Amino acid sequence: MSEQFVEVIVDVPSMQTNQAYTYAVPTELINQVFPGMRVIVPFGNRKILGFTTKIISKRPDVSFDLKNIEEVLDLVPVLNREMLELANWLAKWTFSFKISCLQVMLPAAMRASYNKSIRLISTDVSDEVKALFGQEEELPFDSKTLTPESFKILSKLNRDKKAEVIYQVHDRARSKKVTAITNLLTSAEILIQKDALRTNAVKSAKLLDFLNNLGDKTMILKEAMQKSGLSSAIFSQGEKKGWLKKIKVEKYRDPYRDTKIKKTEPKKLQPAQENAVTEINQAVVEQKNQVFLLQGVTGSGKTEVYLYTIACALKNQRTALMLVPEISLTPQMVRRVKSRFGSNVAVLHSGLSEGEKFDEWRRIERHEATVVVGARSAVFAPLEQIGVIIMDEEHETSYKQEDMPEYNARDVAIKRGQWHNCPVVLGSATPSLESRARAQKGVYEWLRLDQRINGQPLPQVNLVDMRQELKRAPVVDVSTPLLEAIKQRLKKKEQVVLMLNRRGYSSFIMCRECGFVLKCPNCDISLTLHMDSRSMKCHYCGHEEPIPQICPSCHSKKIRYYGTGTEKVQQELQQLLPDTKILRMDVDTTRRKGAHAKLLQRFGNKEAEILLGTQMIAKGLDFPDVTLVGVLNADTSLSLPNFRSAERTFQLLTQVSGRAGRADKLGEVMIQTFNPQHYAIQLAKSQNYEKFFGIEMNMRHKGGYPPYFFTTQIVTSGPNEADVAKKMFEINGQLKQILSKQAVILGPTPKPIMRINNQFYYQLVIKYKSEPYLDEFLENLLLTSQKEAQRKLQLKIDRDPIDFI
DNA sequence: AGCACGCCGACT
DNA sequence: GTCGGCGTGCTC
Bridge partner residues of A319 (DSSP)? A386
For nucleotide C3, the protein residue with its alpha carbon nearest to C1' is A156
**Known binding positions of A for Zn(2+):** 511, 514, 520, 523, 538, 541, 551, 554
How many Å from the CA of A132 to C1' of C8?
34
Compute the distance between CA of residue A74 and CA of residue A78 in angstroms, rounded to an integer. Answer: 7
Whether the beta carbon of A59 falls within 7 A of nucleic chain C: the reply is no
Average pLDDT (A743-755) is: 79
- What percent of chain A is modeled with pLDDT above 70? 89
Residue A526 DSSP code: B
CB atoms within 10 A of CB A458: 18
pLDDT confidence band for A505 (50 / 70 / 90): very low
Measured CA to C1', what is the nucleotide nearest A142? B2
Angle at A251 between CA A245 and CA A255, to 5 degrees: 140
How many Å from the CA of A750 to C1' of B8?
35
Q: A290: which residues sit within 8 A by CB, 6+ positions away? A: A283, A423, A424, A445
How many Å from the CA of A142 to C1' of B9?
28
A457-499 tens-digit pLDDT:
778 888 988 878 777 766 667 888 888 888 888 888 888 888 8
How many Å from the CA of A681 to C1' of C11?
57
How many Å from the CA of A111 to C1' of B2?
18
Q: Are A263 and A339 in contact (CB under 8 A)?
A: yes
Query: Given its phi and psi angles, is residue A799 left (phi above 0), alpha (psi -120 to 50 degrees) or beta?
Result: beta
Whether the beta carbon of A42 falls within 7 A of nucleic chain C: the reply is yes
How many Å from the CA of A46 to C1' of C11?
10
Average pLDDT (A768-775) is: 93
A623-635 tens-digit pLDDT:
778 888 898 888 7
A551-576 tens-digit pLDDT:
887 887 777 665 557 777 787 888 88
A640-671 tens-digit pLDDT:
667 888 899 899 889 888 777 665 677 889 99
Query: A792 pLDDT exceeds 80?
Result: no
Element holding A649 (H helix, E strand): helix A645-657
How many Å from the CA of A411 to C1' of B11?
60
Measured CA to C1', what is the nucleotide nearest A66? C12
Compute the distance between CA of residue A280 and CA of residue A292 in angstroms, rounded to an integer. Answer: 8
Structural domains in chain A, sorted by start = 5-106 (3.40.1440.60), 176-251 (no CATH), 271-359+371-449 (3.40.50.300), 460-506+563-698 (3.40.50.300), 710-799 (3.30.70.600)
| A595 vs A49, residue with greater confidence | A49
Q: A251: which residues sit within 8 A by CB, 6+ positions away? A: A175, A176, A177, A178, A220
How many Å from the CA of A754 to C1' of C7?
27
How many Å from the CA of A791 to C1' of B6?
19
Whether the beta carbon of A64 falls within 7 A of nucleic chain C: the reply is yes
Q: Are A389 and A254 in contact (CB under 8 A)?
A: no
A4-39 tens-digit pLDDT:
999 999 999 988 899 999 999 999 999 999 999 999
Whether the beta carbon of A63 falls within 7 A of nucleic chain C: the reply is no
Per-residue pLDDT at A280: 97
Compute the distance between CA of residue A269 and CA of residue A279 in angstroms, rounded to an integer. Answer: 14
Q: Are A662 and A621 in contact (CB under 8 A)?
A: no
Per-residue pLDDT at A369: 93
A318-345 tens-digit pLDDT:
999 999 998 788 777 888 899 999 889 9
Average pLDDT (A180-189) is: 84
- What percent of chain A is modeled with pLDDT above 90? 35
Bases of chain C with protein Cβ within 7 A: 4, 7-12
Per-residue pLDDT at A67: 95
Q: Give helix A187-196 / helix A202-214 axis angle, nearest 10°.
A: 180
Whether the beta carbon of A642 falls within 7 A of nucleic chain C: the reply is no
pLDDT confidence band for A712 (50 / 70 / 90): very high
Measured CA distances, A538 to A110, A402, A403, A518, A589 (Å): 33, 19, 20, 10, 18
Of A161-175, A456-470, A669-683, minimum mean pLDDT range? A161-175
Q: SS3 for A563?
A: coil
Whether the beta carbon of A158 falls within 7 A of nucleic chain C: the reply is no
Query: pLDDT averaged over chain A?
Result: 85
Taking all atoms of strand B, which protein residues have CB closer than 7 Å?
A 12-14, 16-17, 44-46, 114, 116, 158, 165, 167
Q: Are A762 and A748 in contact (CB under 8 A)?
A: yes
* The residue type at A805: I
Whether the beta carbon of A130 falls within 7 A of nucleic chain C: the reply is no
Average pLDDT (A77-84) is: 96
Whether the beta carbon of A791 falls within 7 A of nucleic chain C: the reply is yes
Q: Is the pTM of this model over 0.95?
A: no
Measured CA to C1', what is the nucleotide nearest A19? C12
Nearest to A323 by CA among A294, A348, A288, A351: A348
DSSP conformation letters of A384-448: SSEEEEEETTTT-GGGB-SSSS--BHHHHHHHHHHHHT--EEEEESS--HHHHHHHHHTSSEEEE
Per-residue pLDDT at A274: 94
Measured CA to C1', what is the nucleotide nearest A24? C12
How many Å from the CA of A61 to C1' of B11?
51
Compute the distance between CA of residue A691 and CA of residue A62 in angstroms, rounded to an integer. Answer: 64
A366-414 tens-digit pLDDT:
899 999 999 999 999 999 999 999 999 999 999 999 888 999 999 999 9
Whether the beta carbon of A331 falls within 7 A of nucleic chain C: the reply is no
Q: With the C-alpha atoms ordered A428, A430, A432, A433, is the resulting torsion angle positive or negative?
A: positive
Compute the distance between CA of residue A132 and CA of residue A172 in angstroms, rounded to an integer. Answer: 29
Angle at A619 between CA A616 and CA A622, to 5 degrees: 120
How many Å from the CA of A137 to C1' of B7?
37
Measured CA to C1', what is the nucleotide nearest A65? C12
Per-residue pLDDT at A588: 66
Measured CA to C1', what is the nucleotide nearest A116? B2
How many Å from the CA of A165 to C1' of B4?
14
Per-residue pLDDT at A351: 77
Bases of chain B with protein Cβ within 7 A: 1-4
Measured CA to C1', what is the nucleotide nearest A15? B1
Whether the beta carbon of A43 falls within 7 A of nucleic chain C: the reply is yes
Q: Are A171 and A73 in contact (CB under 8 A)?
A: yes
Measured CA distances, A30 to A26, A76, A169 (Å): 6, 14, 22
